[in-house]
Structure 1
Amino acid sequence: MTESHTCDASYIHVEVVFAQPDTIWRKTLQVPMGTTARQALDQSGFDQAFPNGVRQVGAMGVYGQRCRDDYILADGDRLELYRPLQFDPKESRRRRAMHKQRVKNGSSSV
């Protein structure tokens, strides 16, 4: 008989998710209670799926709430891996405002 942890209360189920513009990578894990976000990421196989993943992950979160590496996961948590921002939000707002002002003034030059 093989050992199974499916009903063992000392284990929890978590999902690790990484969204790219064209695809979503997800891995469901069964980990011991007390597992941190970083430990789950390390166990997920993300590094093998994305060899340059260290540069791709900007932060982590659980259900849209940013968390630290040492966050203790709970049963059913979805650990989300966030990509770094491509543009500075302040700079993007400034550029949109400048563009809007040019359009309003009738200037079409960029």
Structure 2
Amino acid sequence: MPDQVTVEVVYAEASRQVVRRVTLAAGSTVLQAVEASGIEAAVAGLVIDPAQLGIFSRKAVPGHIVEEGDRVEIYRPLTLDPKDARRRRAREG
């Protein structure tokens, strides 16, 4: 069993994407990967909500153990409620 894992931590905005590759001790968590990436400090005004994290587009709890090659994603809050967007499209079309 390897003693380290390398993962990508990603945060995307409408105009740019921030990707950091980090190497952590085996057994590290999603939250530890996010903290090690330094993305929160690199993106002005970013406050990471531990409930808004995922791995490869699937929601993950902060204590989930990361594996070699995982893509840890930091999700932004929704700017428009999906139900409201659907209603608006139905009215317009």
Give the equivalent residue in structure 1 for 2:57: 64
User: Aligned match of 1:20 in 4, 13, 17?
Assistant: 13
Give the conservation status (yes or no) of the 8 Å contact 1:57–1:84.
no
Give the equivalent residue in structure 2 for 1:52: 45
- RCO higher in 1 or 2 (8 Å CA, sep ≥ 6)? 2
The ranges of structure 1 where at least 4 consecutive aligned residues each deviate by more than 2 angstroms after the TM superposition are: 55-58
Give the equivalent residue in structure 2 for 1:96: 89
- Which deviates more from structure 2 when the two are superposed, residues 8-17 or residues 53-62? 53-62
Larger radius of gyration: 1
Give unpaired runs (5+ residues) of structure 1: 1-7, 101-110
> How far apart, CA to CA, are the structure 2 residues paired with 1:50 and 1:69?
20
RMSD (CA atoms): 2.0
Q: Counting helix residues as a fraction of each chain, which structure ranks higher?
A: 1
Aligned length in residues: 93
Give the conservation status (yes or no) of the 8 Å contact 2:7–2:69.
yes
